[in-house]
Every structure is written in C-alpha cells, then in structure tokens.
Amino acid sequence: MSAATISPFVPRSRKVRILATLGPASDTPEMIRALAEAGADAFRINMSHGSHADHARRIEMIRGLEKELERPTTILADLQGPKLRVGRFAEGSAVVETGARFTFDRDTAPGDATRAPLPHGEIFDAVEAGTRLLVDDGKLVFRVLEVTPDRIEAVAEVGGTISNNKGLNVPDVVLPLAALTEKDRADLAFALEQGVDWVALSFVQRPEDVAEARRLIGGKAALLAKIEKPAAVERLEGILELADAVMVARGDLGVELPPEGVPPLQKQIVESARRMGRPVVVATQMLESMITSPSPTRAEVSDVATAVYDGADAIMLSAESASGQFPREAVAMMNRIATSAENDPSHYARVHFTETLPDATTNDAIARAASEIVRTVGGSAIVCFTTSGSTARRVARERPTVPLLVLTPSPKTARRLGLLWGAHAVRTRDVNSFEEMVGKAKRMALRHGIARAGDRLVVTAGVPFGTPGSTNVLHVVRLAGDELDRHAG
C-alpha cells in the first residue's frame, strides 16, 4: 500500500487489532508509517532494550504519524520486570553434564562447571528440596536437593552449556519479588512523562502487583498485566479485576510450563478476560520464522488464526517487527491471516463459543441489545458516544458483526481504544442534545466510510450527555439519500 492510499477516514475492516513492537528494524518514520499502512494499529516500546533517548525518539515519530494521518495511534510501554539471572563465569561459560551436582550460591566469584553465583537472595528464601530451576529459557533444568541460607545444592536433570547472565526461572514457587524494580520505576516515570497510552507490567504474580502499579500510574495511562507465570494464572480473576487489559505472554509461560500446557492456558486466559470485559492480547512467537524469512510456517499461520477465532482483542509481533529482516512483511502477513479468518463464514460462531453474559446494569443491557439489534435489522455499524471508553468496551465484549465507531471528546480515550476489538475511535466534540447526537452519528459514519445511503446505524449514548458511565440511550437511525448528498457537498 502506498502512502497515498492510506486515509485518515478509512477504518480497518479487520476487527482484531495488531500490536507491533518497534526496534532497530523499525526505527525510522518511513518504516513506522509502512507498518501502519501494512496493518499495525498500535506500537509497543520494549523498555528492556534501548535507552530513554531511543524510546523518546520513537514515541515522537509515532505521534508525528498520528498527526499526519489524523487518527488516534496507540503506544504501549512494556516494562522489563524483575528478570532473574545467574552471574558470570570465569571462562564466559561452562558445560554442566546431565546428572551432575551443581551449586548456586551467594559467592560473587566467577562460576565454573560445578557452581554459579546467584545474585538474588529472594530465591534462597523461597525454594526447597524438589523445586525446579530453569536456566536459559529452560534449556538447562536443575532440581533442588538441599537449601541453606547461602547455597542451593541441585542436580542437573537436563545439562548443557551455561553462560554469563543467562535468565533463570523458578516456576514452582511464588517469589517474594516486587513486580517493579528500580529500573522499572524509572522507566515508568519516563513513559508517563512521554504520554504513553498503555503500560504493560511484566512477571505479575499476584493482584497486589497490579494494585501497586495502578497506584504509581495514577490514571495517567491504562494498565496491562502480562500473564507469564503459573502463579498469575492461579490468581487470574483477581488480576483481571484490577487490570485494564491482560496479555498472554507465551514466552515465559512456555518456559515455566510444559509446552503442551500453554495452549489450554491461552484459551483459559482469553475466555476469562472476555467474560470480564477486559481486552486481551496474545503475544510471543506468533510469526517467529519471519525474523529471518519473508514467509511464515503453516503452523505459525494456524497459530495466529486460532487467536483470531478465539476472539482475542489484539495479536502482537515482537522481534518480527523490532529486529527482524522483514518487519513490514510480518505485519502485512498478520493482517492477511486475521482478515482471512474473520471472513470465514464460521468466524462469528467460533468467536461466540465464549459466552459473555452481561452484568445486571443498564450499560451492559444496552451493549447486549445494540449487538442483537444490529444483527436483526441488518445495521451497518454501531456508533458509540463515550467519554471514558467504558461503553465501547462493553459493546466490543459482545463481538458484534459490524464495526464499532467510537466518538469521544477525549484524545486519551481515543488512543487507549487502539487495543479494543473492532473499535474505530474518532476524537470529536461532545454533543449536547438528542438531535445533535443523531446528526453527528450520521455524519461521522458517512465521513469514515462506515455507512452509505439507506443503511441503518445503532447509536448508544448517555443522557445527560458528557457524563461518564451513564449510557442509557439506544437509538436506531437510517441514512437517507439526501444526507449522503449533503455530506458529499
């Protein structure tokens, strides 16, 4: 797609959103624009890599693109979290034989084939005999035999080469670690100062982790909790209650769990998030082979399509768009896979395998009714007036068959909706009367190419207008031919 063909007034026909990570391979205004043209709806800034200056430059480029295209663009800052690592080795690495005894200790001396420094005192306090220690994304597996305050004696169940600063996972216990390190707190302050729309919290273990992050964010951004530890899955409902969205972060989940355990957990997390009306992102290794290849494997294509059929709000690219050789092609491929799945006649039924029962509130009743009415009368879109975005989230939870045109006076709300299924957010002045609401719904639907003469629109809003959380109006309107002429004129 050329630059001339992308329009600020054309919404995506695809309902699932695409979140693309930026990095060295996508570090120019031209490439960021190319990713948007290829299908990226939101951009992820990975705080684990790069400097604040790098991130500030990328955020500035995204905001420049937003202004150029006249459409809200979503930025997510992903915090690194408390990453556990072994220390350094005298020769840079060592080979540990399967079945050999191995010691992790507090000694800072460089390691060898019999021991390694472990600079995380919390682990010594939490593990016990039988606990597994996974090194280098699970390539090496150790089983704890004995623990003292300064030493962990273990046996290598799966040996291999262990080297400097490799990551370590402890899947069998909840570690007494704060979800936010000092680096995370500095990165969070920077991200909020830059005006990001979402903050992703890594290695969440408990609802209290989310509560602490919410307190620090103070409403300046929405909060996404990354589910990448078994402990988080066990307390998923409590985490969902406090988070604005969740991510199925399959990288670390796949390390801490047997590979065959990840797919059912992915479905469980997606279903739980949808039932509770929280946007859910599926991430990690979706098109991994496209880091070095211009085309994906058939298994990867099927993986992306499965997330779409399950009704995920967004699907994410990591290294594929950040450091891969084919960033634009990866986004374009994900766009084509998602579009194909959504065009499947069975897509609607598959998405609704998950039953999302409304709460006993007026807002939820209207959201459910809007989705049912648009199917019954053959409407072309649902138009939602909202200040906070709450009404849009409720309507999107129903996974309607038509686009959701969200009209809001808040730029903050418009940007945050970039991770919401089916939402096309437009910043516009609020309305003050019923007649103004109807007129604006018609004009915006025409202007954004969502409706034509003769089409029906289902409109939701709250009276009194401009009051957050007061959705109590549902109205069906038809676009007459003369309205199309007036708009064109």
**How far is 427 from 410, CA to CA, in rounded Å?**
6
386 tagged catalytic = no
**How far is 143 from 135, CA to CA, in rounded Å?**
11
44 tagged catalytic = yes
Catalytic residue among 63, 83, 85, 206: 85
Catalytic residue among 14, 15, 44, 274: 44
284 tagged catalytic = yes
Of residues 251, 217, 223, the one with CA closest to residue 239? 223
67 tagged catalytic = no
Contact 176, 199 (CB under 8 A): no
Q: How far is CA 179 from CA 169, 229, 241, in A?
A: 15, 12, 17
Q: How far is CA 242 from CA 215, 278, 417, in A?
A: 11, 10, 18
Catalytic residue among 21, 73, 103, 284: 284
Catalytic residue among 71, 226, 274, 399: 226
Token pair, residue 357, equals 């029962």
The catalytic residues are: 44, 85, 226, 284
